Structure 1
Amino acid sequence: MNRSPAAGDDRISVVVISYNRCAELDRSLTALERLPEKPPIVAVDNGSVDGTSAMVRERHPAATLISPGRNLGAVGRNLGVRATTTKYVAFCDDDTWYDEGALSLAADLLDRHPTLAVVNAGIVVEPRGTLDAICEEMAASPLDRPDGLPGHPLLSFLAGVSIVRRSAFVEVGGFSERLWLGGEEELLASDLARRGWRMAYVPEVVAHHRASTLRDPHLRRRHGIRNTLWFTWLRRPAGSATRRTVRLVRQLPRDRVTALALADAVRGVPWVLRERDVVPDDVERGYRLLEEMQLHSKARRYVS
């Protein structure tokens, strides 16, 4: 599709969530505002106390600012999506941004493939300029590739560097409040897949990630372990869930963070049992194809 660079691209918006990373959010918003697509930007300040909201109002007045007053985690993206009106929404974290032309390329692909719900970008790690290891794993996907689907088929995605079809996102209800943050994409992706939506890693759509130093890696690992276990028992058949749980627990570090994560997971058992809804056989087959690769993944290590 030919579009005038001066006109921008009215098919796509960007939603950015942030928490206490004022300077990093400023950098990412500046990069996004320079894109030729000129996307409307929604910045969700998840209860920051470092002047983030004031910075957005002062330095990025064209952005729509949402300040829920508390840290909603990934659910902040849900609020951001509600504030958009475009067909497609690109997600960013406060330490990610997109290459020039990447958003229009993703929109072209979503236009061309009506069953495609998510385009996961290739990730350039800054400041080294190297490809993120998770990209090699996504490119080696053993999943069946439907005829004509661009890139490499996925059954989950990385929200901070992905472009979604807004209608599909809304259809499945967005991100779960229970999972908060840390591997929160897996449950949403599962609900997309069971409805026949496709997801793909497309390396030609390029995003950049300069990992923030202002993070709590122990808390992120704790939530990641908990959410992996919750997802497993929410959506996988009992045999598969048992196998994945045993394999995961065996490879986890024997430390306090793991113990807390397992305790969190156990506390959620009543909710998991109430909400348990096993995926169809074709989706479960895909999860089984991915298991061995994920078990030995260099990019999925539960360390902090």
Structure 2
Amino acid sequence: MAIHDPVSSDVVASPRVTVVVATRNRGADLARSLSCHEGPVIVIDNGSTDGSPDVVREGFPHVRLVEAGRNLGAQARNVGVRLATTPYVAFADDDSWWARGALERAADVLDTHPRLAVLAARVLVGAEQTIDPVCAAMAASPLTTEPDLPGPSVLGFLACGAVVRRSAYMAAGGFDDVIFFYGEEERLALDLAAAGWGLAYVNDIVAHHLPSGVRDPRRRQILAARNTVLTALLRRPWPVVARAVLASACSGPVGRRGLGQAIALVPRALARRRRVPLRVEAARRSLDRHDPDGTGTS
């Protein structure tokens, strides 16, 4: 793993928040989004072959670049969080960025609410700036708004629209190599809640997402099916696991392929299985009833 430290800085940085960006083979998107970030910024390159590291080195010398040398998936963010020296870390994808002033506001909210581990922001998508459906679901969360939290309680989030308390994230182990990528947020959310941390949606803090054209929708559907099963296996009761398996098996070729990939990872998942406390499972079940399509984020 190669780390390239910045040689200069022309960005006024918040002393409380570091932006961590994980990227792979999206150099054009990265060139656009990095110019929008308020620093400090750490980019973790997941083994790109399209010259993405050169984009960072040549165009953004103030950005700290880590070349992982291989695809770490969502775990790349763990590398960035470990390197960050600020109390809070904001995640961004290579095709997303935070609105001006949003991170200072997020830091103020986190300072004011010491039990808050994840601040889930409003994500506006595309040139039309429409609210992401996941954020709309979080805003309508059936979980109570706890008196020591700044908004509706949630048990999931969009990583590209989340600011985390670094100490809580590190204590929970960050993202894992079972889920790897896509839908990786739910397992972490469950673990943070199990440890007593709060997660809340804060509507007035905004991130922007201009979805990359370099995407494979079918692959993402397969990953969603796979990771729904694996997340249940990692943290939830056996009847929930059985329902997830059945739903995947009955959802056509994409679901069955995702289930096949999940089966290959069962030994690894079982080795790390740890059921969440009853209070967290009860909250998760209330979201299941509210969110029958299973986005896991409301």
Report the secondary structure of 1:149's partner residue.
coil
* Alignment match of 1:19 (pick from 21, 24, 29): 24
Distance 1:270 1:75 in 2: 19
Q: Percent identity?
A: 44
**Residue 292 of structure 1, CA deviation:** 2.1
Distance 1:7 1:65 in 2: 18
**Residue 9 of structure 1, CA deviation:** 2.1
Letter in 2 for 1:285: A
* Alignment match of 1:279 (pick from 273, 276, 281): 276
Distance 1:263 1:240 in 2: 18
Indicate whether 1:40 and 2:40 are aligned. yes
Paired position in structure 2 for 1:187: 187
CA contact (8 A) 1:15 1:90 kept: yes
Indicate whether 1:148 and 2:141 are aligned. no
**Residue 273 of structure 1, CA deviation:** 2.5
Indicate whether 1:289 and 2:293 are aligned. no
**Residue 244 of structure 1, CA deviation:** 4.3
Summarize deviations over 1:204-250 as a string: whole Å, max 9, x none. 01000011110122222212211110111211112333344434554
**What does 1:216-295 correspond to in 2, within 5 Å?**
216-247=216-247, 249-250=249-250, 252=251, 254-255=252-253, 257-295=254-292
CA contact (8 A) 1:15 1:77 kept: yes
Paired position in structure 1 for 2:138: 138
**Residue 106 of structure 1, CA deviation:** 0.8
Report the secondary structure of 1:74's partner residue.
helix
CA contact (8 A) 1:181 1:220 kept: no
Distance 1:133 1:31 in 2: 23
Report the secondary structure of 1:128's partner residue.
coil
CA contact (8 A) 1:151 1:200 kept: yes
Structure 2 length-normalised TM: 0.91
Letter in 2 for 1:272: A
Paired position in structure 2 for 1:209: 209
**Residue 293 of structure 1, CA deviation:** 2.5
- Give unpaired runs (5+ residues) of structure 1: 1-5
Paired position in structure 1 for 2:121: 121
**Residue 271 of structure 1, CA deviation:** 2.5
**Residue 274 of structure 1, CA deviation:** 2.6
CA contact (8 A) 1:122 1:203 kept: yes
Report the secondary structure of 1:295's partner residue.
coil
RMSD, aligned CA:
1.7
**Residue 84 of structure 1, CA deviation:** 0.8
Paired position in structure 2 for 1:29: 34
CA contact (8 A) 1:74 1:180 kept: yes
Moved over 6 A (4+): none
Distance 1:185 1:275 in 2: 16
- Give unpaired runs (5+ residues) of structure 2: 1-10
Structure 1 length-normalised TM: 0.89
Report the secondary structure of 1:23's partner residue.
helix
After alignment, is 158-167 or 146-155 more displaced?
A: 146-155
Report the secondary structure of 2:156's partner residue.
coil
After alignment, is 151-160 or 163-172 more displaced?
A: 151-160
CA contact (8 A) 1:182 1:221 kept: no
Report the secondary structure of 1:48's partner residue.
coil
